[in-house]
Amino acid sequence: MEEPVGKAVLKIIAGDITTQDTEAIVNAANSGLMGGGGVDGAIHRAGGPRILEECKEIRARQGKLPTGKAVITGGGRLKARYVIHTVGPVWSGGNRGEDELLRSAYLSSLSLAKERGIRSISFPSISTGVYGFPMHRAARIALRTVRDFISTNTGFDEVRFVLFGDHALKEFLSAWEEITTVPG
């Protein structure tokens, strides 16, 4: 799916985040910033050791990265020039501020990209793997947050959601239908 939002285009595709050619890709990291499984492991493997070195420098400077916040490193050997590392919430039933923290992870990443003049960015579906956030609920939050941000912040050419597999893609496409046809 590809649709204009403000001055940018929003794309929802199935694929692998590590091969994307946007200026930045987003990593669903953890507060330790030392790598892990899922998207995090894949990005560090594909991008090489330079990314972890930069993460360690950040860690030494500012300590752990709180949930909902974001930091930026170079992309190492990736096509993307930058990696924005953010930490989504661990799902624990939905009454512990998970929705707001997930929103904040997307917003922090977008704000950091904007600050750096980055014009194109790819997101994975943050928190919906190891962290257990229900996919459909996460998709609605992700899409609404990105749509609202790029409708008012005009520095972006493209925001891409890169979903791993058909199930995730379907959930994102149906969530997009819902938020664009049902108001609020």
Identify whether 166 is a catalytic site residue.
Answer: no
CA dihedral angle for residue 41, residue 46, residue 47, residue 49, rounded to 10 degrees: 70
Q: How far is CA 165 from CA 5, 12, 33, 143, 172, in A?
A: 24, 12, 26, 18, 11
Give the amino acid at 18.
T
Q: Does 109 bind ligand AR6 (CB under 6 A)?
A: no
Q: How far is CA 173 from CA 133, 139, 180, in A?
A: 17, 9, 11
Nearer to ligand AR6, 18 or 22 (CB): 18
Residue closer to ligand AR6, measured from CB, 113 or 127: 127
Q: Which of 47, 68, 75, 88 binds ligand AR6 (CB under 6 A)?
A: 88
Using the rule CB under 6 A, is 75 a contact of ligand AR6? no
Q: Report if residue 8 touches ligand AR6, rule: CB under 6 A.
A: no
Binding site residues, ligand AR6, CB under 6 A: 16-18, 28-30, 36-40, 42, 88, 124-131, 162, 164, 168
